[in-house]
Amino acid sequence: MALFKTVALEFVNQLNKNTMSEKIGIEITEIGEDYLRGRMPVDDRTVQPFGILHGGASAALAETLGSIAGTMVLDPEKEYCVGMEINANHIRSVKSGFVYGTARPIHIGGKTQVWEIRIEDEKQRLVCISRLTLAVLLRREQMTK
């Protein structure tokens, strides 16, 4: 059984319009039954002064993928999610090309969610492993019901 509600890839990518994710080139590339996949360029927007992928850019990719994935399992009319904590272990440096992230759920609860995001280079070598904890919040109009 699919974890995610049926959502068009184009719609999901529209969520990044006019956000940091769009500015650094994050693109959602695939929605699976229990995962969300995206990519980010390693270029002048995402490298640190030594010319390698910035750890903060990896964390931004991880939080973007995990947050979108977390939203996709909720009823957006009633709930939304926000990041509570992110952990990122940087394993390998990357100087160019793209990195690809895959978000998979560890825990989907009524009040919290935990997602694992693996970021790999173009040769499928692990670049960063991240864990994101999300808080599930009620929309204001739901609080009065």
Tell me which residues are annotated as active site. 63
CB atoms within 10 A of CB 101: 25
Give 85's strand partners: 133
Distance CA 119, CA 117 (A): 6
Three-state DSSP class for 27?
strand
CB atoms within 10 A of CB 29: 15
Three-state DSSP class for 71?
helix
Distance CA 13, CA 31 (A): 11
